[in-house]
Structure 1
Amino acid sequence: MQSNVISSRHTIQQQVVIADGKLKDLPSKDVNRRLLKALLEYAPTTEGKEVIASDIIAASEEEDGLTQLARFYTTGLILPLKGGGRTPQVSFHSSQDIEIKSTADDIAVDLEAAKRDQTLKEQTLHRDGYRCVVTRRPEESTISLCPDFDPRGGAFNTIAAHILPFSLMSIDNNKALFKKATIWAVIESFTNIKFAELSGDNFNSLTNVITLDGGVHHFFGQLKVWFEAVSDKPTTYIFRKSKEYLLGDIVNDGDKVTFASVDPHLYPLPDRRYLTLHAAVAKVVHMAGMAEYLDDLTREYENIRVLSDESHAEYLDGLLRIAQRSALVTTSQDEK
């Protein structure tokens, strides 16, 4: 049995090496190459790494296949995990053989049930000690519950922040159902997180929510800060910032954050897999130098949302190509 596991591990490692070699078909400064290489490196599970490697190998056999694959993961994984705004239509690639296990009807029922819980902030604050888990700044509305509150340090507004963004469970119309089903299929192939475990009211489970103050929440949603798991300490993480100046000296890159709960059974801690998925995607964006590109893409998307679905899909395809070329030019200039 052990030999089979080792053999399988070697096979996956070999696939990764082959896939990495296939990426050399793209220019070294190409944003698509950087994106796929980062996905290959930061996939949070062995299965996810195998899926990425297999996709790269298959896509490399097709004309413009790697570029199309990068676009698929940009619209099917990266952008959906970026909080705020709407999610562009998923671009498909022929190398993908995704099994969408949930029917549109199933998802429609679950999406309808997934609504924001009015008591969510209260429960999250209670678990997290009425403070932001990163800055330790207290929530203004509950300072009476903070025995060590120091007025000189101030009180702030905090947010019950979803780790996996609420937009994953919201729809604008029936046409969005298939898009969300596809996105969840990509998430399931990249991780071991299943749609069923977060469907309906489960999306508002405390396992998917943390208390953050406004600034941290903004950058967390933008994939510019993340929590990097400490392997031998299941409740401890290293707080990472894509740029040192983010949040000033309120919190430093590399600071340790340890989650705790007054009662882990009634108030469960954040799910490590959700934080790991968020961190993986954030690191992909950071390593690939895609932050400004994604900001531009989502900003442009909001400007064209009034278009019809057909025109929007065509426009977005062109926008992706333009944005990727812009990112390539920007990177080339930065490296000079």
Structure 2
Amino acid sequence: MTALPSANEANRILPRDAPNAISLYTTLILPAERLAVERLEAAGDKATTDLKALVVYARVVGYLLLFPPSDIARDALLGEVASCNDSSKPDPFEALYGLGKSYVSHIISLFKSARGKTPTPESHPSRPSFDRLQADHLQELQPSPRDHSSAKKSALVRDNFRCMVSGKVDDNSERAGLTQRLPNEMITVTQCCHIFPDALEAVSPARHGDKEQAVSSVWTFLDRFGFQDVCKELMGATAGFNPHHLENILTLEINAHVLFDRLDLWFEAVEGQPNMYHVGITSKRTHADFGWPQMVHFISHHQGLPLPNPSLS
């Protein structure tokens, strides 16, 4: 994980009306990172996983403070970081490392690794007429699907049977006659990608095990970070959490899906331009490496099928 920006750089990033943020960053977060790095380097070849993790924990807190998802999130984080500022303890940064660990354990790790496996799309054995097949497919559409298969079908129609990033045509849909490919269009295999992982659905309200505690933590963090509207949208009025709602679904080719699940691909909404997004990728790669544009415009190709909610991306 990349080292935190210097105090001078952070001073340019953080808002001027948040002097407490600058103070906590320079007097608590940066020293915590520096000490963790020194401990790691001193251990040399004997460095443990725990020592390496301390560096990550400090940096996670630092980057969240510098680039929070919202002003409300920054305010909430400031309160938590301030509560970690206790120089009377033997290890003055223990609480800060613990805060970073909670974010990694309860949020980042869950989103990065707890996604359900995407079923392999089935090939169609025959090729009926294009119009009839498409009509049959349209009858099955649901704006708020309750299962993976229905979400996949509805999202494919919404996205014109193409990857939302590369624009490549879904192979199985083209084979089945559900869409027609232009001469210059490329083929790919797409998958149904959940923004909020569908693993969040697989819990029982009657149980209080580790899985239930982890999922509860996700909703708690979202609520405290100012995403009450997102929680309401995903939870629904009566039916509970529905990860298969189309506002939580992307149609992505396989490599894009893998990178998205690894948090190596993300979308940043363009202010003032609805459904327009910057395509973010890790610094080790370029858009040209994947044949992707730097910006994408999401379009619903079927009335009544909603696009991904920008608040979720």
Asked if the contact 1:82–1:221 (Cα under 8 Å) also holds between the matched residues in 2, the reply is yes
Match of 1:76 in 2: 106
Match of 2:224 in 1: 189
The CA deviation at 1:263 is 3.9
Q: What residue ranges of structure 2 are gaps of 5+ in the alignment?
A: 1-13, 38-54, 117-144
The CA deviation at 1:187 is 2.1
Match of 1:149 in 2: 182
Are 2:307 and 1:269 equivalent residues in the alignment? Answer: yes
Q: How does 1:153-172 map to 2 (within 5 A)?
A: 154-171=186-203
Q: Whole-Å Cα distance in 2 between the matches of residues 166 and 77 of structure 1?
A: 14
Q: Whole-Å Cα distance in 2 between the matches of residues 84 and 137 of structure 1?
A: 27
Question: When you count helix as a share of all residues, which structure comes out higher?
Answer: 1
Aligned AA (1:270): P
The CA deviation at 1:220 is 0.2
Asked if the contact 1:163–1:274 (Cα under 8 Å) also holds between the matched residues in 2, the reply is yes
The CA deviation at 1:171 is 3.0
Give CA-to-partner distance per residue, 1:196-217, whole Å, 9 cap, x none. Answer: 4312363211100010011100
Asked if the contact 1:115–1:201 (Cα under 8 Å) also holds between the matched residues in 2, the reply is no
* Aligned CA-pair RMSD: 2.8
Aligned AA (1:274): L
Q: Whole-Å Cα distance in 1 between the matches of residues 166 and 223 of structure 2?
A: 32
Aligned AA (2:64): L
The CA deviation at 1:11 is 9.3
Match of 1:18 in 2: 23
The CA deviation at 1:258 is 0.6
Give CA-to-partner distance per residue, 1:156-200, whole Å, 9 cap, x none. Answer: 221111011111222386413233212210122224144343123
Are 2:234 and 1:198 equivalent residues in the alignment? Answer: yes
Size of the alignment, in residue pairs?
237
3-state secondary structure, aligned to 1:81 = helix
Q: Percent identity?
A: 21
Distance 1:250 1:27, change over 3 A: closer
Match of 1:111 in 2: none
3-state secondary structure, aligned to 1:249 = helix
Distance 1:174 1:11, change over 3 A: same
The CA deviation at 1:83 is 4.1
Q: Whole-Å Cα distance in 1 between the matches of residues 286 and 260 of structure 2?
A: 11
Aligned AA (1:256): M
Q: Whole-Å Cα distance in 2 between the matches of residues 201 and 85 of structure 1?
A: 15
Asked if the contact 1:116–1:204 (Cα under 8 Å) also holds between the matched residues in 2, the reply is yes
3-state secondary structure, aligned to 2:22 = helix
Asked if the contact 1:40–1:53 (Cα under 8 Å) also holds between the matched residues in 2, the reply is yes
Asked if the contact 1:133–1:210 (Cα under 8 Å) also holds between the matched residues in 2, the reply is yes
Asked if the contact 2:115–2:197 (Cα under 8 Å) also holds between the matched residues in 1, the reply is no
Are 2:71 and 1:32 equivalent residues in the alignment? Answer: no
Are 2:158 and 1:121 equivalent residues in the alignment? Answer: no
Q: Whole-Å Cα distance in 2 between the matches of residues 85 and 128 of structure 1?
A: 22
Q: Whole-Å Cα distance in 1 between the matches of residues 284 and 266 of structure 2?
A: 13
3-state secondary structure, aligned to 2:233 = helix
Q: Whole-Å Cα distance in 2 between the matches of residues 84 and 185 of structure 1?
A: 18
Are 2:263 and 1:223 equivalent residues in the alignment? Answer: yes
Aligned AA (2:112): K
Q: Whole-Å Cα distance in 2 between the matches of residues 49 and 80 of structure 1?
A: 21
* Higher relative contact order, structure no. (Cα contacts within 8 Å, ≥ 6 residues apart): 1
Distance 1:83 1:149, change over 3 A: farther
3-state secondary structure, aligned to 1:149 = coil
3-state secondary structure, aligned to 2:275 = strand
Aligned AA (1:262): H
Give CA-to-partner distance per residue, 1:243-282, whole Å, 9 cap, x none. Answer: 4447863334x61111001245x1111000100xxxxxxx
Asked if the contact 1:19–1:54 (Cα under 8 Å) also holds between the matched residues in 2, the reply is no
Q: What residue ranges of structure 1 are gaps of 5+ in the alignment?
A: 1-8, 87-113, 276-336
Of 159-168 and 11-20, deviating more is 11-20
Q: Whole-Å Cα distance in 2 between the matches of residues 182 and 250 of structure 1?
A: 35
Distance 1:201 1:55, change over 3 A: closer
Q: Whole-Å Cα distance in 1 between the matches of residues 182 and 68 of structure 2?
A: 41
Distance 1:209 1:148, change over 3 A: same
| Structure number with bigger Rg | 2
3-state secondary structure, aligned to 1:60 = coil
Asked if the contact 1:45–1:190 (Cα under 8 Å) also holds between the matched residues in 2, the reply is yes
